[in-house]
Chain A
C-alpha cells in the first residue's frame, strides 16, 4: 500500500460527502502540499518586493507552453520550467548589473512573454485548448504531480534552512549583506530559479491568472499581523493552508474553479488581517 492509498483511506473516514470522491482526496493532498510551500516562498517575495517579478514568472508559462507545443512535447512542464528559469536568471542579472528601472523592465518582459505565448498558441485558432492553464484545475492532479510537489517541497525546505537568513539580510540592504560575506547575487539568483520551478510545477493545478495571488496574499496578510520573522512565517503558512482547505471544499459546493475560490478565501483573510492589524496597533 502506497502513502497515497493510506491518504485515500484516511480522508474516506471524514463524515462529508466530498470526502468520498477520489478527485477531492487527491486535490486535498495537492492543496496541503502547495499552500505551505507557496506561503513560505511568498514571505520572501513580499519582503523583497518581488510581487511583480513573480507575476511575470507566472505569465511566462504561456511562452513555455507555446515552446513546448512547437517542439511537440506532450507535456510542457519542462519547457515551462526552462523558460521561467532563464527569464528569472536574466531579470536577476539585469537587476544586479544595471541601473534599469525594474518596474519598467518587468512591464516590458511581461507584455512580451504573454504576447509571444498567445501568438504561438493561437495559430489556426487553437488557443481554446490551452485555456485550462489560465484558471488551472487542482482536481486534475495526478500521482506524478504529487511526486513533483513532494520533491520541490523537500528542496524548498532545505533551501529555506540554509538561505533564508541571507535572503532576509539582502532584503534589508545588499551592501550590508555583502559585508557579512553573503553572496547576494547567488542568493537572489537561486531564489528566483527556485520560485520559477515551484510556480511551474504548480501552474497546471492553480492557473496562470491566479498563481501569483496564492504566492502573495498569505504573506501579505501575515505581514499585517507579524511581530517578527517567526510569526510572519507561521501566520503565512496557517492562512495559506486554511484558505486552501476552505477554498477547495467551498468550490465543491459552489461548483466553481478551485484555484480562484482558494484565492478568494486568502483575499478574505487579507481583509481580516488589515482589521486585526489595526486593532493590535491600537
Chain B
C-alpha cells in the first residue's frame, strides 16, 4: 500500500478466522492504524482483501470500528445520547431525541452498562467511559468484524480489565472476529488468539507465546516483556 511515493505497508498477508481475536503490535509508525483504515475501506491499496460471512464471500461486511482518539473540544455540546443517536438513527438529533429513539439509545448503551452516561456531554467522559460508548455504537447493529484501535490508551487498569472482559464475552457469545491495535502487551498476551508483529511488513505472527519472544519485538518494547510472558 502506498500513499504518494511512500510505501506504508507491504506484503501484508493475514488471515483472521471467525470469532478470533488478532492483536496488531509494532512500533509507532509501523502502519497498524493504516491497516485498520484500509480494512475499513478508507485507503486505496493494491492487492486483495476478502471477507467471508457465513460461508458467503461479501464485499461489504458489517464492520464495527472504535477509533483511537477522538478530537473534539472538551466543552462540545454533543451529549452521549446525541452521539449514539446520530450514529444509529436518521432522526435528526438537533430536533430532539424522541421517546422511541431515547429508549433505543439506552438499550444500545446498556450493552456495556453505560446507560447512565446518556445525558452527559462527551467531553465529560473518562477514557474508559468513552470507550464503552464507542464500543456500544460499534456493536450496533452486530458487526461481523470489530476493529479496535488502541483500546488500552487513556484507560486506567481497572477500566482496561473490564474492557477485555467485555470484549472476550462478546466474542464468545456473538461469534465476532476482532482485530485490535495495542501497545498493552501484558494485557493482550492472555487475551488474543494470535499476535501479529507489524513494522511496514509482517515481521512475525502466531500464538502470543511465540510472537512475544520475537527478537524484534523485544528490541521494540524492551526486555520487560520477558517477565510479562513468564508470568
Contacts and interface: CB of A to CB of B under 8 A. Distances in A.
Contact of A175 (B37, B79, B122): B37
Contacts of A178: 40-42
A210 B134 CA distance: 39
Interface of A: 43, 47, 160-162, 164-166, 168-169, 171-173, 175-176, 178-180, 222-224, 226-233
B175 to A, nearest CB: 20
Interface residues of B, number: 39
A196 B140 CA distance: 36
A172 B89 contact: no
Nearest to B36: A175
A175 B138 CA distance: 12
Interface stretch (B51-59, B66-74, B178-186, B202-210): B66-74
A227 B94 contact: no
Contact of B97 (A161, A223, A227, A230): A230
11 contacts: A160-B92, A160-B94, A164-B92, A166-B86, A172-B78, A175-B40, A176-B137, A223-B77, A224-B75, A227-B119, A229-B77
Contacts of A179: 40, 63-65, 138, 147
A168 B82 contact: yes
Q: 6 tightest CB-CB pairs across the interface, nearest first?
A: A179-B65, A228-B79, A165-B86, A232-B77, A226-B77, A233-B94
Nearest to B95: A230
B108 to A, nearest CB: 13
Given A165-B92, A172-B83, A223 B42 contact: no
A15 B10 CA distance: 77
Given A165-B93, A178-B40, A230-B96, A172 B122 contact: yes
